[in-house]
C-alpha cells in the first residue's frame, strides 16, 4: 500500500504537534510495511503512485484542497481541528485582536491564511480558497474525504457542530514514542518545585499567564520551546515579564527533553485550546503531574488525572500548579498512557482505517 501524507508548507520550519504526529505515524506505518511519503502542500505529487492520500489539518484547507481535488482515489483526513476562537476573543491584543473578535472564526482564519501568503510567502495559494472562503473550503475537504480521523470523539463532535456535515470517522489517538520515553526510566527523582512547559511559544499556548502565575513564587519555571513565526512580539513580552525564577530554553530535540521531564514534578500548559497536548502525554509518561485548561478535547484524554485551571485565571493557574506539586503521582495513569497512547497504537488504528477503504 502506497500512501501520500500531505500537510502544511511550514511543517518543518514552524514545527508543532502536528509535525510530531505526522513523522511518528509515518515511521510506525513503515514498520508495518506501508510505503509512506510525506509532502508539503507546495510540493508536486505524482498522484498515480499512491493508493491513498492522507491530509492533515482541516483548519488549513488552502494547503490541501487542490491535492484533494486532483487525487481520484481514497482520501483520508486527520482533522486536527484546533479552535482559536477563545484565544482570538479573549487574549489576542491590539487592533488585530479587535478585528478578529468582530468577524467570526472562519473569516479570521481566511484573513490569517491570506496574510501568510503575503507576509510569509507561503506557497499554498488556491483560487478555490481565495474566492470560496475558509468555511466552504473546510466543507469541501470534509465532503471529499472517505473517512475522517479525529484525535477524539470530542474533536469530531466539534467539527460536526461547526460545519454540519456528518461523515464516517474513526478516532485515532495521539501518543508518545515509547522507544524514546521509556517505561523503564526512573521517575522518582523529582524536584518538587520544578515546573516545565514544553510547547511552541505563542498566544494560544498561554505561556504569558503561566509566567505571571509563577513569577516570584517558590517555583522554578522552565519554558522550553521557540517562538512561533508570527508570535515574536508575544515571545518578547514573555521574556520581558519573566522574573528571575523563570528561565527559557530554546527548542530542543525530543531526545533532550527526557532529562527535563524526569526532573520536573509538574508540566504546566494551560492553553486556550488543545486537541490533545502531546507534551502533556509525554510528561505523564515521565512521571509528571500535569496542569492544563479544560478547553478543547483534553478532558477526554486526561479526565480526573490532570489539574485544571481556566487559561485566563493567573490565580487559578498558580493554585493548580501548587496542588499538582503537592500531590503524589498516579502510577496507574502512566500505565494507561503506555497501553493506549503510543504511536504504535496510532499506526495500528490508522492502518485499520486504511484497510476499511480497500
**Which pLDDT band, with edges at 50, 70 and 90, does 45 fall under?**
very high
> Rounded to whole angstroms, how far apart are CA atoms 122 and 115?
9
291: Cβ–Cβ under 8 A, 6 or more apart, which residues? 266, 267, 268, 269, 270, 306, 307, 308, 309, 317, 320, 321, 324
For residue range 263-286, what is the model confidence (pLDDT) as tens digits?
A: 999 999 999 999 999 999 999 999
The answer to whether 271 and 202 have CB atoms below 8 angstroms apart is: no
Q: Which residue has the higher pLDDT, 316 or 125?
A: 316
Please check whether residue 27 lies inside any domain of the structure: yes
Alpha-helical segments (H) within 164-224: 207-214
Same domain for 108 and 196, yes or no, is no
Query: 194 — phi, psi (to 5°)?
Result: -95, 120
Sign of the torsion formed by the C-alpha atoms of 324, 325, 327 and 332: positive
pLDDT of 105 strictly over 70: yes
Q: Are residues 315 and 218 in the same domain?
A: yes
299 found inside a domain = yes
pLDDT tens-place string over residues 132-147: 888 899 999 999 999 9
Q: Examine residue 180 and state whether it is found in any structural domain, yes or no.
A: no
Of 226, 178, 197, nearest to 345 by C-alpha is 178
In angstroms, the Cα distances linking 312 to 84, 163, 294 are: 15, 28, 12
Which of the pair, 323 or 128, is modelled with greater confidence?
323
* Whether residue 93 is found in the same domain as residue 124: yes
| Dist. CA 231–CA 202, nearest whole Å | 6
| pLDDT of the residue at 104 | 66
Distance CA 174, CA 349 (A): 11
pLDDT at residue number 53: 98
Q: Are residues 43 and 10 in the same domain?
A: yes
Rounded Cα gap, residues 151 and 39, in angstroms? 21
Q: For residue range 187-232, what is the model confidence (pLDDT) as tens digits?
A: 999 999 999 999 999 999 999 999 999 999 999 999 999 887 778 8
Residue 305 has pLDDT above 80, yes or no: yes
Give me the count of residues in the chain: 358
Task: Look at residue 10 and tell me if it is in a domain.
Answer: yes
CA distance 310 to 239: 22
CATH of the domain at 41: 3.40.50.2000
pLDDT of residue 121: 61
Do 217 and 117 fall into the same domain? no
pLDDT of residue 84: 79
Q: Quick check: 141 and 55 in contact, CB under 8 A?
A: yes
Is 181 part of a structural domain of the chain? Answer: no
Number of domains present in the structure of the chain = 2
- Note the pLDDT tens digit of each residue in 62-91: 889 999 999 999 999 999 999 877 777 776
Reply yes or no on whether the pLDDT at 254 is more than 90: no
CA distance 94 to 99: 9
Residue 121 lies in a domain: yes
| CA pair distance 128, 140, nearest whole angstrom | 10
The answer to whether residues 6 and 120 belong to one domain is yes
Residue 294 has, within 13 A of its CA and on its CB side, a CA count of 9
Residue 134 belongs to what domain range?
2-175+342-355
Flag whether 184 is in a domain.
Answer: no
Instruction: Quote the percentage of the chain above a pLDDT of 70.
Output: 93
Q: Are residues 156 and 213 in the same domain?
A: no
In a domain, 182, yes or no: no
- pTM as predicted: 0.90
Amino acid at each position: 500500500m502506497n500512501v501520500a501524507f500531505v500537510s502544511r508548507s511550514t511543517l518543518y520550519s514552524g514545527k508543532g504537534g502536528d509535525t510530531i504526529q505526522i513523522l511518528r505515524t509515518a515511521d510506525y506505518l513503515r514498520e508495518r510495511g506501508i510505503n509512506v511519503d510525506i509532502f508539503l502542500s507546495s510540493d508536486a505529487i505524482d498522484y498515480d503512485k499512491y493508493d491513498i492520500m492522507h491530509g492533515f489539518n482541516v483548519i488549513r484547507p488552502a494547503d490541501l484542497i487542490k491535492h484533494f481535488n486532483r487525487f481520484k482515489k481514497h482520501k483520508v483526513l486527520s482533522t486536527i481541528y484546533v479552535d482559536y476562537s477563545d484565544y482570538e476573543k479573549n487574549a489576542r491584543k491590539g487592533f488585530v485582536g479587535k478585528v478578529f473578535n468582530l468577524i467570526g472564526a472562519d473569516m479570521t482564519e481566511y484573513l490569517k491564511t491570506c496574510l501568510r501568503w503575503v507576509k510569509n510567502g507561503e506557497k499554498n495559494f488556491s483560487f478555490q480558497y481565495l474566492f470560496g472562503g475558509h468555511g466552504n473550503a473546510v466543507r469541501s475537504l470534509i465532503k471529499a474525504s472517505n473517512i475522517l480521523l479525529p484525535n477524539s470523539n470530542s474533536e469530531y463532535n466539534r467539527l460536526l457542530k461547526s460545519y454540519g456535515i456528518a461523515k464516517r470517522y474513526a478516532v485515532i489517538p495521539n501518543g508518545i514514542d515509547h522507544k524514546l520515553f521509556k517505561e523503564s526510566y526512573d521517575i522518582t527523582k523529582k524536584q518538587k518545585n520544578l515546573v516545565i512547559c514544553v510547547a511552541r511559544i505563542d498566544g494560544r499556548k498561554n505561556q504569558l499567564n503561566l509566567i505571571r502565575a509563577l513569577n516570584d513564587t517558590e517555583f522554578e519555571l522552565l519554558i522550553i520551546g521557540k517562538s512561533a513565526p508570527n508570535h515574536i512580539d508575544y515571545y518578547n513580552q514573555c521574556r520581558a515579564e519573566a522574573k528571575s525564577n523563570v528561565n527559557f530554553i530554546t527548542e530542543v530535540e525530543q531526545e533532550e527533553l527526557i532529562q527535563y521531564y524526569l526532573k520536573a514534578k509538574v508540566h504546566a500548559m494551560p492553553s486556550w485550546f488543545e486537541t490533545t497536548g502531546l507534551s502533556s502525554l509525554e510528561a505523564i509518561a515521565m512521571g509528571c503531574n500535569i496542569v492544563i485548561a479544560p478547553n478543547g478535547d483534553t478532558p477526554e484524554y486526561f479526565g480526573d488525572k490532570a489539574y485544571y485551571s481556566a487559561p485566563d485565571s493567573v490565580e487559578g493557574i498558580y493554585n493548580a500548579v501548587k496542588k499538582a506539586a503537592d500531590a503524589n503521582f498516579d502510577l496507574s495513569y502512566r500505565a494507561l498512557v503506555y497501553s493506549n497512547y503510543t504511536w504504535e497504537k496510532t499506526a495500528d488504528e490508522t492502518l485499520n482505517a486504511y484497510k476499511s477503504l480497500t
